[in-house]
Amino acid sequence: MNQHVTLDKIVALCKRKGFVFPAADIYGGINGIYDFGHLGSLMKDNLKNLWKKSVQNDRGEIYFIDGSLIGPQAMWHASGHIENFHDPMIDCMNCKKRFRTDDDNIDINKPCPACGIQKWTDIRDFNLMFQTQLGALADDASKAYLRPETAQTIFVQFKNIMSTNRAKLPFGIAQIGKAFRNEITPKQFLFRMREFEQMEMEWFCKAENSMNQFDYWLQKRKEFYQAIGINMNKIRMYEHPQEKLSHYSKKTVDFEYEFPFGFKELEGVAHRTNFDLSQHSKHSGKDLAVFDQATNTSEIPTVIETSVGVERLFLTLLFDAYCEDEMDGDTRVVLKLHPHIAPIKAAVFPLIKKLSEPAEKLYQQLKATFTHIDFDEKGSIGKRYRRQDEIGTPVCITYDFESLENNTVTVRDRDTGTQDRIAIDNVEQYIADKIQ
C-alpha cells in the first residue's frame, strides 16, 4: 500500500486539503518556510498535546516553559553556537548555486549537479543562526540571534525554574516552541525548514546514574512512537560514532524513519553531560550548581535531552498514514492516521439535502462534545466518504430515511469501509470508543 506514497503526493495533498501552504503563497512563497492551514494546525495541536503527555514519567516532575525566541550574543557564545553551529558550504562559480558539501548529491570532484560545469569555490563554514539587532544602534553590543534550538532558553532559566518550583533532581523542563535555522538548502518540504517548532525535554540528573537515565528516556521515546501508531518497522536507532558527536554530547542516539528519500533523523536523544550549564555558569558568572543536603556536595547537573521537530514528525506521520487502496470499485486515497492525531474526529452526512435538518441537529450535538466534527451535504455519499478518507477522519455517520423511522444512523469505519447501523443515542459513545 505505502509504496504509492511520494513526497510530491504529500505536498499536493497538504495544499489541496489545507494542511500546509507555502508561506506568503500569493507572493510566490519563501523557501523553507510554511504556514499551516485549518487541518494542519489542528493536527499539530494534537501532536503537541500527545507529546506533552508522553514526557510525564514516574522518575521525576516535568515543568513546562515558553521561552523567548531572541537571545543575546553572550548566550550563544556560551552555548557554542556562534563558534560551532555551521554547515560547510560551497558555491558553483558558473551558475551561482549554493550547496552543502555534506549533501548526498554533491561531490566537489565532479561537476555541479545544477549546471554540469565543474568550477567550485573553496569550502567555507556558514553559520546557520539568523542574526538580528536590538534597538536602533547597529553596534556589536546590540547583536542578537533567533534561537536555533529551544534547549538554550531552558538552560538559561534552569535556576529560576528549579527555585520557583522547589524542584528536586532528577526533574525535566520541557518546551514546545519555534526554532530558526538559516539552512543553506532547505528541502524535502517539512523535513528541513528554516522556521520550525521543536518539542524538547531537558532532564536534569546526577552524573553518576545519567547513563541509566539516558536508556530510560530512549525507551520512553520508543513507546511514544508505538503509541501514536507509527509503523515501527520503519523506525531504526542510529548511534552517532564518537568522532561525529556534537560538541556538547557524550552519547547521541537518533530515531530514524524510512522516508521515500531514505532513512533520516526524526528525533535525537542526547547525553549532553553538564556542558551547557557549565558554560552558562562560566559566561554569566552565576552559580548553576545544585546542593545536595544528603551528601553535603554541590554538582552541576547532567542533562539528558530528547528533541524532535513538530513538522518533521507531522511529515513522518503523513508518509506513514498515506495509502491508496481499492474501495467500492474506486481507487481511494486514505490517511490512516491514529484517531488521536486525526484533525477531524467524525463527519455527519444527510443522505440527501431533505434530511439536512435532523442531520445537522446530530452534528451540533456531537460538535459540543468532540469539537472538531465535519458536516457535509454536498455530492454523492461516495464522494463525501472519499473527502473524509483523504484527511483521515476515523468515522463517518450517515443520516438516512431509516433514521427518521427508528432513530438509527449508519456509522462507517475509515480503514475497512464497513458500515453498521446503530442507535443515535449510542453515536457519542461509538465515536468516543473509536478515538480513545
Site residues (CB under 6 A) for ligand GAP? 149, 151, 181, 183, 192-193, 196, 198, 200, 265-268, 305, 307-309, 311-312
Cα–Cα distance for residue pair 326/401, rounded to 1 Å:
28
Of the two residues 183 and 374, which places its CB atom closer to ligand GAP in the complex? 183
**Nearer to ligand GAP among residue 166 and residue 244 (C-beta):** 244
d(CA 340, CA 399): 25
To ligand GAP, the closest distance from the beta carbon of 321 in angstroms equals 18
**Residues 6+ away with beta carbon under 8 Å from 246:** 84, 252, 270
**How many Å apart are CA 295 and CA 298, to the nearest integer?**
9
Please tell me the distance from the alpha carbon of residue 309 to that of residue 193, in angstroms, as a whole number.
Answer: 10
CB of 276 vs ligand GAP, minimal distance in Å:
10
* 238 grid coordinates: 542510529
Quick one: 5 or 151, whose CB is closer to ligand GAP? 151
Round to the nearest angstrom and report the end-to-end CA distance of the chain.
26
We find the least distance from the C-beta atom of residue 247 to ligand GAP, in angstroms, to be: 12
The Cα-based distances of 83 to 78, 87, 285 in angstroms read: 9, 11, 20
Query: Max Cα separation, the chain?
Result: 79
Decide if 410 contacts 349 (C-beta within 8 A): no
**Omega into 88 within 30° of 0, i.e. cis?**
no
The helices-and-strands tally (H runs, E runs) of the chain is: 13, 24
State which residue, 266 or 346, has the beta carbon closest to ligand GAP. 266
Strand duo 290-292 + 297-299: pairing: antiparallel
- Taking the complex as a whole, how short is the minimal distance between the CB of residue 27 and ligand GAP, in angstroms? 22
Least distance to ligand GAP, CB of residue 194, Å: 7
- Give the nearer residue to ligand GAP in terms of CB position, either 224 or 349: 224
Position with the least CB separation from ligand GAP: 309
* CA atoms of 146 and 370, how far apart (whole Å): 37
Q: How far is the CB of 40 from ligand GAP (least distance, A)?
A: 15
- Closer residue to ligand GAP, CB minimum distance, 21 or 430: 21
* Between 239 and 420, CB nearer to ligand GAP: 239
Provide the minimum distance between the beta carbon of 308 and ligand GAP in the complex, in angstroms, as a whole number.
5
Pick 78 or 359: Cβ nearer ligand GAP:
78
In the bound complex, what is the minimum distance in angstroms from residue 431's beta carbon to ligand GAP?
Answer: 32
